[in-house]
Chain A
Amino acid sequence: MTANVIGRPLPRVDGRAKVTGTARYAADFNQKDQVYGVIISATVGLGRVTGIESEQVESMPGVVVVITHRSAPRLPYGPHKSYIDPAIGERLHMLQDDRVRFYGQPVAVVVADTLDRAERAAAALRATYAADRPVVDPSDPKAQAIVPEAAGSEADKRRGDADGALASAPVKVDATYDMARENHNPMEPHATVAAWNGDRLTLWSKSQYVVNEQAEIAAIFGIPAENVQVICPFIGGAFGTSLRTWPHVTLAAIAARQVDRPVKLVLTRKQMFFTTGHRPRTVQRVALGATPNGKLTSLIHEGTGETSRYEQYVEALTSNSGFMYSCPNVRSRYRLTPLDAGTPTYMRAPGEASGVFALESAVDELSYALGIDPIDLRRRNEPEIDEGESKPFSSRSLMKCYDLGAERFGWSRRNHAPGSMRDGRLLIGWGMAASTYPVFYLPASARVRILPSGDVEVEAAASDMGPGTYTSMTQVAADVLGVPMSQIRFDLGRSDFPSTPPHGGSMTMASVGSTIRAACIAVQVEAAKRAVADQRSQVFGAALDGVEWNEAACAAAATPRQAKPTATLWRAPASPSRPAPPRSAILRLPAAIRCTPLARSLLKSLPIPMSARSGCGAPSALMASVASSIHALP
């Protein structure tokens, strides 16, 4: 295996399509005879819709229909929960009753023959409400925190006696951190084009998880999943907001069925603040106790996040505090405050980002209380194992990160006293923080096809919201098969492609990448089997482990572009000691790649071992197993 494309800064394979405008996003899939849907969002924060003057608006030019809770079909809303849906609670049902649960909740959808006319009709539509006073702030006296059943044992964790140790600690800090809600607001707004063909529904829809959108919408409408096709080849940024399937998708499908024409529905920028999730507001308390020479004796991390009244959204707010530092007395507590708001959702390191901010801020404060350099303080509290779980870390390079980061930043030149460093009139501050994010991977599947021309097709129902899935998966295939990137075509974003986990949690490379690698290896094996059985082949009759992959022939087969038998892809080995393609393998990419820019050079110097189980073309899930260590391939 040569090619050596891993770790190299290659141009994006979809770059040209993106800059020339030929990459198609959800709202670009305009359909013949399509009409336009515009959502009416509630303008009260809680209450009921008492009237909607649809008749008047329905007679405006170009308006096809106004759909409200009075006219919408009763939908089955069959049960559906995937990894990314809250485990406790029931999703919002669209137009099935007159309740307004939060400001901005959809209360109607207007459909017209042009977007302008639909917007004008939406602006003209008068709705009346019986309004109650919503509770939207966790500090509201009416807001009540609950123990999040959905968080399980993460809600309360302890070791030792953190409160006692804090009380008697010689040096301590105790602070509250209030982080406002954040909305994702990627450049591309949520958009869905919905088209029915009998009882089959096609959705061109912005989704980081097309197979789930397929299943979710099928459950809502009570139709078989195979009747629903979701297509999303490109996403203009998401940050987690397109993991779940939000109400506007259902509304587009309702409208399309009602008017019996394709309906295009794109959220306005304002509507991106209402029904598509957000990082929840959190209020946290972190208290740290330490000895005068900086050894932690107590760590308390309490946090409360907002959620809706109808679902428990939980995230890993306090989860990192059990293992970031060595400390015998640790207590963490996680609570939720249900509010009259939409359900929050994952946003860029959901939970960890907020929790680590609070923890690291407190550690910084402690470094000042102690008069110890912040990096030094962290070194003094580096744990040998995960003291929360009493397990060794599978990998932990934080000390090395401190070393390299400090060296490259020139940290030794830092003066610890606040306000002590200047650059002309500017006061200069230098700070640092540690961070961590868990490594996730889930079962995935992929299909690899070698064409007679030597070109390769790879397919998976994955997603690319911008990090470069198209390019990275092409790199993986190129690396295994040893063919030029230009000879490989990787396709994603269709629900009828082999199923993959959500494009979130930084798990795409570990899950889908590993799978594609395995599938490429499997296709090589398949090709080998045919080669040794083909009389025309050089390796006819050879033992399967006695042949080696002929990268040169693979490349050569592509030019000139004529069919060559797959037999030529395998040849007798030049040197008998060259091993067969590896079977058992170990992969642990994400932590290294994501954490530091070192990753690229790491990847170049340590050939990445890989796992192999057959999954080529199979609808069943493939698990790329991750074992405990990385070792070099011969």
Chain B
Amino acid sequence: MLPFALEKAHSAEEAIAAAAAGGRYIAGGTTLIDLMREEVEHPERLIDINALPLGGVRVEGGGDLVIGALARMAEVAADPDVLRVQPLIAESLIEGASPQLRNMASIGGNLLQRVRCPYFRMLDAACNKRTPGSGCAAIDGLNAGHAILGTSDHCVATHPSDLAVALVALDATMRVRGPQGERSFPVEELYRLPSDMPHLEHTLLPGELIVEVRVPGGAHSRGARYLKLRDRASYEFALVSAASRWMSGTARSGWRGSPLEAWARGPGACAHARQLWSVESRSGGLSKRPLN
């Protein structure tokens, strides 16, 4: 781990100003610290945002569920309001990580977590996400847990967040605050496809801080369910995950769109993680690329 400076922010403004000057936010640290140990991430300056008033879970008058960015996974998964109005979210959270990790990891951090591809985490392996232009060792390497939708010739890593899949399925939006002020957008728009620039993963502008996630209420919510298939019963990332409106989750983030919905409705679609297709773009058709 390379040396770094750690400072604690006491307000969102303070944090955002520090980030604009080059600092990186840290909340639970359950992704960032690991990657710093591997020297994949080497921020010089960390801004501890844990004291900011961005926690909590509430249901608003119109039925929207609002989850603070600093709410912890465990807290949200056990929240009575969440269980009552959006059980899908609780299911997606409880299937993730481990109890220890869920106690520390924030909702905002969960959405921004980085990929689990082992080559991304190995400094001596080719990885376009870590070092643009260096190649992708996963394409011909060990990739049983990698993506089959939304990939490119540059990167086949899958986004590991179960929560993201659920939020996309539920048409959730998120609010962020940055040097230019606040804005809201659908969670789905947070994520970029790897295309030829896999090192760019999300659409946040420099210094933007996730404030909260908003899940619109509705009758559909109570019947929604989350399914995660994997070799082990716990403490393992998904081979295939899905939220029940047939948002197939093997891809970069939840997928939706008519060619895929048709494909995903097929009974075998989610059951066979080794089915070998990759989708070039959201609007395009299906193209084949075999993985190992």
Flag if A120 contacts B2 (CB, 8 Å). Answer: yes
**A43 within 8 Å of B by Cβ?**
yes
Flag if A123 contacts B39 (CB, 8 Å). Answer: yes
Q: Residues of B contacting A119 with CB < 8 Å?
A: 1
Which residues in chain A, 91-135, are within 8 Å of chain B measured between CB atoms? 116, 119-120, 123
> What is the predominant secondary structure among interface residues of chain B facing chain A?
loop
CA distance A625 to B73 in the complex (A): 61
Determine which of A43, A116, A120 lies in contact with B124 in the assembled complex, contact meaning CB atoms within 8 Å.
A43
B39's nearest neighbour on chain A, judged by CB, is A123
Which 7 residue pairs are nearest across A and B when measured between Cβ atoms? A43-B124, A123-B39, A120-B2, A123-B2, A119-B1, A120-B3, A116-B3
CA distance A123 to B1 in the complex (A): 9
A42's nearest neighbour on chain B, judged by CB, is B124
CA distance A423 to B278 in the complex (A): 39
Q: Residues of A contacting B2 with CB < 8 Å?
A: 120, 123
CB distance from B279 to the nearest CB of A (A): 32
CA distance A43 to B137 in the complex (A): 14
CA distance A214 to B1 in the complex (A): 34
Mask of B1-12 contacts with A, CB within 8 angstroms, 1/0: 111000000000
CA distance A123 to B38 in the complex (A): 10
CB distance from B122 to the nearest CB of A (A): 9
Binding site for B on A (CB under 8 A): 43, 116, 119-120, 123
Q: Residues of A contacting B3 with CB < 8 Å?
A: 116, 120
Q: Residues of A contacting B1 with CB < 8 Å?
A: 119
CA distance A123 to B124 in the complex (A): 12
A119's nearest neighbour on chain B, judged by CB, is B1
- Number of A-B pairs, beta carbon distance below 8 Å: 7
Q: Residues of A contacting B39 with CB < 8 Å?
A: 123
CB distance from A492 to the nearest CB of B (A): 35
CB distance from B292 to the nearest CB of A (A): 13
CA distance A119 to B1 in the complex (A): 8
Give 7 CB contacts A-B under 8 Å.
A43-B124, A116-B3, A119-B1, A120-B2, A120-B3, A123-B2, A123-B39
CB distance from A126 to the nearest CB of B (A): 12
CA distance A116 to B124 in the complex (A): 21
> What is the predominant secondary structure among interface residues of chain A facing chain B?
helix
CB distance from B195 to the nearest CB of A (A): 29
CA distance A277 to B162 in the complex (A): 37
CB distance from B153 to the nearest CB of A (A): 23
CA distance A43 to B2 in the complex (A): 20
CB distance from A271 to the nearest CB of B (A): 14
CA distance A116 to B3 in the complex (A): 9
CA distance A43 to B124 in the complex (A): 7
CA distance A123 to B123 in the complex (A): 10
Q: Residues of B contacting A123 with CB < 8 Å?
A: 2, 39
CA distance A43 to B39 in the complex (A): 16
Q: Residues of B contacting A120 with CB < 8 Å?
A: 2-3
CA distance A116 to B2 in the complex (A): 9
CA distance A477 to B124 in the complex (A): 54
CB distance from B35 to the nearest CB of A (A): 14
Mask of B145-167 contacts with A, CB within 8 angstroms, 1/0: 00000000000000000000000
CA distance A119 to B39 in the complex (A): 11
Which residues in chain B, 1-55, are within 8 Å of chain A measured between CB atoms? 1-3, 39
Q: Residues of B contacting A43 with CB < 8 Å?
A: 124
CA distance A120 to B36 in the complex (A): 12
CA distance A531 to B90 in the complex (A): 77
Q: Residues of A contacting B124 with CB < 8 Å?
A: 43
CA distance A384 to B2 in the complex (A): 65
A103's nearest neighbour on chain B, judged by CB, is B124
CB distance from A116 to the nearest CB of B (A): 8
CA distance A120 to B3 in the complex (A): 9
CA distance A43 to B119 in the complex (A): 13
B38's nearest neighbour on chain A, judged by CB, is A270
CA distance A120 to B42 in the complex (A): 12
CA distance A119 to B3 in the complex (A): 11
CA distance A572 to B124 in the complex (A): 77
CA distance A170 to B39 in the complex (A): 61
CA distance A119 to B2 in the complex (A): 9
CA distance A120 to B39 in the complex (A): 10
CA distance A119 to B38 in the complex (A): 11
CB distance from A442 to the nearest CB of B (A): 40
CB distance from B78 to the nearest CB of A (A): 23
CA distance A43 to B126 in the complex (A): 12
CB distance from B277 to the nearest CB of A (A): 27
CA distance A237 to B1 in the complex (A): 27
CB distance from A70 to the nearest CB of B (A): 22
Which residues in chain B, 158-194, are within 8 Å of chain A measured between CB atoms? none
CB distance from B213 to the nearest CB of A (A): 32
Q: Residues of B contacting A116 with CB < 8 Å?
A: 3
CA distance A123 to B2 in the complex (A): 9
CB distance from A147 to the nearest CB of B (A): 32
CB distance from B102 to the nearest CB of A (A): 23
CA distance A119 to B124 in the complex (A): 17
B2's nearest neighbour on chain A, judged by CB, is A120
CB distance from A273 to the nearest CB of B (A): 12
CA distance A423 to B1 in the complex (A): 49
CB distance from B73 to the nearest CB of A (A): 25
B125's nearest neighbour on chain A, judged by CB, is A43
CA distance A43 to B123 in the complex (A): 9
Which residues in chain B, 60-94, are within 8 Å of chain A measured between CB atoms? none
CA distance A315 to B39 in the complex (A): 39
CA distance A400 to B1 in the complex (A): 56
CA distance A120 to B2 in the complex (A): 7
CB distance from A187 to the nearest CB of B (A): 16
CA distance A490 to B267 in the complex (A): 65
CA distance A393 to B100 in the complex (A): 50
Which residues in chain B, 222-271, are within 8 Å of chain A measured between CB atoms? none
CA distance A116 to B39 in the complex (A): 13
CB distance from A100 to the nearest CB of B (A): 13
CB distance from A620 to the nearest CB of B (A): 50
CB distance from B253 to the nearest CB of A (A): 30
B42's nearest neighbour on chain A, judged by CB, is A123
CB distance from B126 to the nearest CB of A (A): 12
Which residues in chain B, 109-155, are within 8 Å of chain A measured between CB atoms? 124
CA distance A116 to B37 in the complex (A): 12
CB distance from A532 to the nearest CB of B (A): 65
CB distance from B119 to the nearest CB of A (A): 13
CB distance from A124 to the nearest CB of B (A): 10
CB distance from A62 to the nearest CB of B (A): 12
A117's nearest neighbour on chain B, judged by CB, is B3
CB distance from B44 to the nearest CB of A (A): 14
CB distance from A560 to the nearest CB of B (A): 51
